Structure 1
């Protein structure tokens, strides 16, 4: 089982000055955090794409390219690339270059986009939300299969066709491509039928309620004739680790709740309460926030429940301070991940 970190590049909000942290500061902090994640032996680092004032990262592959130069072993992926509002040709080229610079450590995680700011920014109609993703995923997979080794012929509705075009750079392998979903059965079925690895974001409620989606994926994956031995399943959940779980929770709640409200108020979400936050930390909650042993037990519980091959802890929701995140990454890599892998090895 692979264990790693994912982030969105949240910017800390100063309540006194009513201003966000400078993006340049946060970007350099993230690079330090990725470097540490590599040094402590974590398997994967993922960074998301956003186009809002409260996030630092609008181009995951740019940050991952910088990370490739200061890391040695950790896999580098987007989390996610909003493929629906991107040009698949350029996305493929960018990640192919990342793969070359990182000596084969590049991955990509694509999704339809739960944040929709990129659609008007890049000139796409939200009425085409589903069709855009389906078409652009098809083009990306064709490019990824060709690997720059052979010409691609492709036609679609939303961009000009490719006619006998070879897209460079040339790779020796296809880039591992994950599909990220939030809970839509149609997206799960698409991933399964294509035989692509699936990652489900579980960021609220009782995680057990997501079990039908995992079972649906497994049924459709097998029905499509894919090799069950190659099936890959992952979850992404908010988490943070400290030596004192309750003290960590008390300090983290205000920034977590504030960011949740900034993101959710346009979607009709109410403000989070501390009891709701604490419920999320329980065994039946979605958060991995607490002491190492609490997080170890919860990862093992989710692995048993969903047959996971990968777990990503999303560690920067609300932008806890840099020192807190560094300590969390250290504990995840040196205490939690080894214990989980030892337990699964038995």
Structure 2
């Protein structure tokens, strides 16, 4: 773990409500996202990630377009996805879009690649779910090749072959920083190590210490593949407010709507307040509470999992824009310095 932990924010662009409880149009949610990212940049946070989805409850289907708009209104914060669903996209086009984002942001682009926990993009873009594993494996292999920015000769089963093909534009000064998002599969951990890509663990439920074996597996696999050490990050949901009770009371109704909606699709039981309280407790995966509570929990996870970055998924369900902005403000101005202090990197 580095002496200073990188702290970022993630969002899926959840369709939210206004102060009167009325659902906002997708267009307004997208404009609000730009404002949220500007605030994150002004607070000195390290990363702002936007997830890709193709369903009614999330507004962002083209994150790179939104990230380019954000790049034009920010100066320092790194910009990327959370995640890009590579299986249902074209690796060459993904690289081109992020190379373009890197240019307009003066070198601030990153990408987190994953298979995605939602599958709407597969039928939408004409891919078979029966090829779920093969699509990701082949497309990740091809992305790793195009990332080298050398002419590509490649053959696979899921797209036409390439022969000595160059891809433009190249990045100006470096390789594109490319993470692999992992939700709980050892095979995915080993795959990230095989390509020498940083590992982003999506911990959205349960006790974070359960992922410590994945960290050990990743480091062992890097060594076995002859790869240098790479950063390890965690993406987890949460909400920051002035007090613990206020934060939980603000988040609970919106989080319940989100979890129950997804639960109905996947056959999960309805979430209870007791389960929510357990996830919000010291051992759970919800980083919700006052700045002191959230900072303590992040620092504990960072030490336990030897993290280089922590990304808070700050939008969880229909919570209004004003509450999200307050959460971002507290995360950047109070949580971030407390975390660094607890890790011994700075003095308060």
- TM > 0.5 fold call: yes
Q: CA deviation at 1:181?
A: 0.9
Which residue of the partner structure matches residue 197 of structure 1?
198
Superposed, 1:1-12 pairs within 5 Å as: 1-12=5-16
Aligned to 2:44: 41
Match of 2:160 in 1: 160
Give SS of 1:345's match: coil
CA distance in 1, matches of 2:342, 2:283: 21
| 1:80 matched to 2:87 | no
Matches within 5 A, 1:1-346: 1-12=5-16, 20-146=23-149, 150-172=150-172, 173-228=174-229, 231-346=230-345
Aligned equivalents of 1:225, 1:60: Cα separation in 2:
33
C-alpha RMSD over aligned residues = 1.4
Looking at structure 2, the residues matched to 122 and 175 of structure 1 have their Cα atoms a distance apart, in angstroms, of 25
Unmatched tracts of structure 2, length 5 or more: none
Question: For residues 79 and 148 of structure 2, what CA distance do their matches in structure 1 show?
Answer: 20
How many Å apart are 1:214 and its aligned residue?
1.4
Instruction: Name whichever of 286-295 and 205-214 sits farther off.
Output: 205-214
Contact 2:296 2:342 in 1 (8 A): no
Instruction: Say which is worse superposed, 247-256 or 288-297, in terms of deviation.
Output: 247-256
TM-score using structure 1 length: 0.95
Residue pair 1:20, 1:54 contacting (<8 A) in 2 also: no
Q: Verify the 8 A CA contact 1:205 1:286 in the aligned structure 2.
A: yes
What TM-score, normalized to structure 2?
A: 0.95
CA distance in 1, matches of 2:137, 2:71: 30
Divergent runs of 4+, >3 A: none
How many angstroms apart in 2 are the aligned matches of 1:5 and 1:235?
A: 11
Report the Cα distance in structure 2 between the residues aligned to 1:12 and 1:95, rounded to whole angstroms. Answer: 27
Task: Give deviations 1:267-324, integer Å, cap 9, x for gaps.
Answer: 1111111111111111111100100000111011001110000000001110311111
Q: Distance in 2 between matches of 1:291 and 1:160?
A: 52
- Looking at structure 2, the residues matched to 39 and 130 of structure 1 have their Cα atoms a distance apart, in angstroms, of 40
Deviations 1:90-143 (A, max 9, x none): 111111000000000000000012100000000001111011001001111111
Count of equivalent residues: 339
CA distance in 2, matches of 1:24, 1:336: 30
